[in-house]
Amino acid sequence: MLVQGNVAAPGDKSLTHRLLLLAGMAPGRSRLQGALTSLDARSTAKVLRLLGVPVTPLRPGKEVLISARGRFERPRQILHCGNSGTTTRLLLGLLAGHDFRATLTGDNSLRKRPMRRVTEPLARMGAQFDGKGGEAPDRLPLAIRGGGLHSLEWELPVSSAQIKGCLLFAGLAGGVPVSVREPSGRSRDHTERLLRSFGYRVEESAEGWLQFEPTGKLEPFDLEVPGDISSAAFLVGAALLATGGGLAITGVGLNPTRTGFLRVLERMGARITAIQTGERCGEPVGDLQVRPGPIYGTTVTAEEIPGLIDEIPLLAVLAARAMGRTHFHQVGELRVKESDRLGLLAENLRAVGALATVEGDTLVVQGKRTPPVGPVRTEGDHRIAMAFAVLGVVEGAQVRVDDLECAAVSFPGFDEVMRQVTGRRGR
């Protein structure tokens, strides 16, 4: 199957969440162009409205207006975060600095995801939670009462942009210093870049501590969100597995803490060129040019994982088509994503005829040349759905994804874009 054309990825998911929340704390009117309009982004907009922040509807091609007073209002309803772990964790950081009680919940998947990794350090800062014996709760629904916070020094249990961002946002809302250190690798740094743009001091010490000082001031802004490199990854994968053609993906964010998967693919022999064309939101932006060709197995180290955690499903299905064996080390964090993503990934690879095993926290995938054929169970996980849809590009493939609609969590119109670049009609 040929994959060709010139396409744009949807707005960056990580930046859309953060910009909406920061706009909700900046007194005045902010404007966002190119914001992601996915279900997760709409969850953030919805909870902001319940906190007294007017946000215009998130619609493709339309600017988003956020009018804020500088602080949230006490919500009269439960804050439902849908499927969005990013909404939940970042919002908890901001709520920790507000002197009122708020209750957060989510869908069935989100209610299974661990929250103590953020509620425990927030409790150390002075936030109060409803929990047995005074323990910080580990699951939604949960109630938080914020207020006067004090400074925090905290070593993260795992390298995570959501945990790090939550604690930095708590420092912002509470006006207190925060120091955090990640155990291995460097997670995406969108929060740090945005805070620096408002004059806050965010510096990394030689010992690996990230130190935040409340030296800045939030002001209304007018920004354009770059394309999401994690969404673009699936289009990259489709182009690599094609029998011919070439694909250009324009206006994509090229933040070096988000492009780890490109470095892995280049190591595997992929023909990808990244060209920086400018900067948006303090982030490098550019175009990706991808051509099909053979790829080879590799080893993805534990240190690389924080910078490509969202792209592992895509890398794994590509590894199933590579020559040789690929090892993904220390990917246990995938067990607590929107699904048990690690177990589901290996199960589905085997279901379509690939060779995959999980050995502790290591995923091993052996490349195979026979076309993938079989059913795929997504459990509503958007990245599982899109990764296995990419396998459908392989000549002779018959991959049946049970729920491609869930891709709308992060990539609205994914199926339509795939039809556009492959030239196929219908599903």
End-to-end CA distance of the chain: 15
Q: Which amino acid is at 386?
A: M
Q: List, in order, residues 6 or more apart from 33 with CB less than 8 Å away.
A: 63, 223, 224, 225
Tokens of 228: 């999401």
CB 220 within 8 A of CB 26: yes
Contact between 151 and 176 (Cβ < 8 Å): yes
Q: Which alpha helices (DSSP H) does 101-149 contain, by range? A: 116-125
Q: Alpha helices of 150-255 — where are they, by DSSP H?
A: 161-174, 190-197, 229-241
**Three-state DSSP class for 238?**
helix
Q: Residue for token digits 């020094």? A: 153
Residue with tokens 């492959």: 422
CA distance 19 to 68: 13
Q: SS3 of 391, please?
A: helix
Comparing C-alpha atoms, which of 7, 12, 8 is closest to residue 228? Answer: 12
Element (H, E) at 122: helix 116-125
Looking at 40, 287, 310, 415, which residue is catalytic? 310
**Structure-token pair, residue 26:** 């900046």
Q: Is 310 a catalytic residue?
A: yes
Residue type, 153: E
Asked if 141 contacts 78 with a C-beta cutoff of 8 angstroms, the reply is yes
Distance between CA 180 and CA 208 in Å, rounded?
9
CA distance linking residue 326 with residue 356, whole number of Å: 10
For residues 172 and 195, the answer to whether their CB atoms sit within 8 Å is yes
Phi-psi region of 265 (alpha: psi -120 to 50; beta: other; left: phi over 0): alpha
Q: Which residues contact 419 (CB under 8 A, 6 or more apart)?
A: 425, 426
Contact assessment for residue 98 and residue 72, using Cβ atoms and an 8 Å cutoff: yes
Q: Are strands 101-105 and 128-129 parallel, antiparallel or unpaired?
A: unpaired
Structure token pair of residue 321: 């088509």
Which residues are designated catalytic? 310
